[in-house]
Amino acid sequence: MTNTDYYAVIFTSTYSENTNGYAEMAIQMEVLAKRQDGFLGLESARNDIGITVSYWENLDAIKNWKHETDHLFAQHKGRKDWYTWYKVRICKVEHDYEFFKENNSSLH
């Protein structure tokens, strides 16, 4: 990440009891997102609530991703099968910074 303006899409969700095929689709969507113009990165965590944050150069890149055919299919499957609830937030990131401990090999 850099200290220039970019956008974050925050996807927060809870699973339904049926998660058959979810893990495979999540991998496919990450691979596909990485190929999209304007994609900058992705971070994800899940316990009781899942949070995935994807980073994009601009709002047009986000719009194009939202309407990508395979992503539309995954969205439909999510509403139909995998999620009991989700929320999407789109935010402009005006600045970022990070801490990195040199002997922490798990980050880089």
CATH number of 6-93: 3.30.70.100
Q: Which of 70, 47, 66, 46 is nearest to 56 (CA)?
A: 66
Would strands 6-15 and 50-56 be described as parallel, antiparallel, or unpaired?
A: antiparallel
Note the pTM of the prediction, 2 decimals: 0.84
Does position 37 have pLDDT exceeding 90, yes or no?
Answer: yes
Please report, for residues 3, 29, 81, 100, the alpha-carbon distance to residue 76 in angstroms, rounded to integers and kept in the order given: 35, 13, 8, 38
Distance of CA 107 to the CA centre of its chain: 18
Kindly list the domain boundaries of the chain, sorted by start residue.
Answer: 6-93
Q: How far is CA 9 from CA 17, 59, 83, 93, 105, in A?
A: 25, 10, 18, 10, 27
Which amino acid appears at position 20 of this protein? Answer: N
pLDDT of 18 reads 87
pLDDT, tens digit (0-9, with 9 covering 90-100), for 46-87:
888 999 999 999 999 999 999 999 899 999 999 999 999 999
